[in-house]
Amino acid sequence: MKNIFYIFIILIIGSCTKSDPVGYIEAKPSIYFDLDEITYINSIPKSFSTTLDSFIVVDIPVKCSGLASDTDRKFKISVLEEESTTTSGIDFIPISSEYVFPKNSYNAVVPITLKKTPVLDSVTLKLTIKLEENENFSIGEKFRQKASVKFSNEIVKPVIWDKYNYYLKDWSKVKYIIILQLTNRTTFPTQAEWSANYQYWQIVLPRALSGYLFDNYPVYDEKGNIIQPW
Q: Are strands 43-47 and 146-152 parallel, antiparallel or unpaired?
A: parallel
Q: On the CB side of 35, how many CA atoms lie within 13 Å of its CA?
A: 23
- Reported as a single tens digit per residue, the pLDDT across 94-112 is 999 999 999 999 999 999 9
* Residue stretches of the chain with pLDDT short of 70: 1-26, 37-41, 52
Residues forming a β-bridge with 109: 61
Q: Where are the domains of the chain?
A: 26-154, 157-230
Residue 176 parent element (H or E): helix 173-183
Q: What is the pTM of this model?
A: 0.65
Q: Which of 34, 14, 6, 209 is nearest to 106 (CA)?
A: 34
Q: What is the pLDDT of residue 121?
A: 86
Evaluate whether the domain defined by 26-154 bears CATH number 1.10.10.10.
no
Q: What is the pLDDT of residue 26?
A: 54
Alpha carbon 152 to chain centroid, angstroms:
18
